[in-house]
A = this chain, B = another copy of it.
């Protein structure tokens, strides 16, 4: 795919640089992992340092020193999921800033204006993000969106309305319709169509009929690319696969398809087989900071005592800077023993090195996917990436190799 800041190959994995930085990694090192495009969160940059400042500094590319393609989300998802207070109406969302507690308003027009100021190559439509799971039918200890749903059920779902009970089905239908109307408003508000591509987002939860309805309405509008949203927000891997397998083929095949926020290797493989071109996920960076390293056969937890005197790299054969060292100062690699020491001693270099490894892991995975798409030799791919053929759950068992 070609953008004003260069091209990237698909299927592509975009590292997440929430606040205008991939946590702990310089842009040069991000680039060296093989990443060609990365993602910034509009929500976070809106609250701090603010889109006006980023624009004054020349836009996100110049601000963060990444001259290649950048995609920003619209801020909608975080406005729903991160904020203590949010009120949704037909015009937009009001939420409390996690930075200073002030009340912030996002509408389709404002979300587009903010992204026009930030200046990414690809910007996302502002959509209505209802809870994916009915809070009335839910067990305790559910993920974050569930609490948002509970708040929603108290505060009411339609503009001004305050129903005593939460009707999940009605909420999903309303969100689906609203997301179409908001995309129309986003397209009208978009002032830099020549240099920024606005992607529409298909919603619809886990219900395939709603997905089809959303895909038909959204894809009828004039966007250079489309995304599948509302996935990987708490559903089972089977549900993710079902939604993606059903929805991806409904999107125009001559335009890029982006599956937002997904995921594990297995989810990505499944989605690529369904025709998805773009992915983003915090897994490599977030897990890296927590000492969880991805390998072709599963994650390993580097804090485990078993690695205390393990001289091997995270993954023998990996060509990342942690496993293979850097050319200028090369004495082999950073051992699991050393990495464990860094985490036990709370040293920044631990998160940095495992993040680097994990980012490279996902880029190597995507590169292999791209070449296997061409060669069509999937038996070899399966042998090289057993992790992508292993059941995945939230409590994914780490595999020591």
Could you list which residues of chain A lie within 8 angstroms of chain B, going by C-beta atoms? 19-21, 23-28, 30-32, 44, 48-49, 53, 56-58, 61-68, 308-309, 311, 321, 325-326, 328-335, 337-338, 341-342, 344-345, 347-349, 351-353
Contact = CB atoms under 8 A, between A and B. Distances in A.
A329 B25 contact: no
A48 B345 CA distance: 8
Nearest to A25: B349
Contacts of A44: 345
Contact of A329 (B31, B53, B57, B309): B31
Copies in the complex: 2
A21 B334 CA distance: 12
A310 to B, nearest CB: 9
A31 B67 CA distance: 26
Contacts of A27: 326, 329
7 contacts: A25-B349, A26-B352, A26-B353, A48-B344, A56-B309, A63-B335, A68-B329
Contacts of A334: 65
A78 to B, nearest CB: 14
Contacts of A335: 57, 63
A66 B30 CA distance: 22
**Chain A at the B interface: mostly helix, strand, loop or mixed?**
loop
A53 B332 CA distance: 18
Most buried by B among A25, A26, A32, A62: A26
Contacts of A19: 341, 345, 347
Contact of A32 (B328, B341, B353): B328
Given A30-B329, A64-B338, A67-B331, 15 more contacts: A20-B338, A20-B341, A23-B347, A23-B349, A26-B326, A27-B329, A44-B345, A48-B344, A49-B344, A57-B337, A58-B311, A61-B331, A63-B337, A65-B333, A68-B329
A338 B57 contact: yes
Given A53-B337, A57-B338, A348-B352, A328 B28 contact: yes
Contacts of A49: 308, 337, 341, 344-345
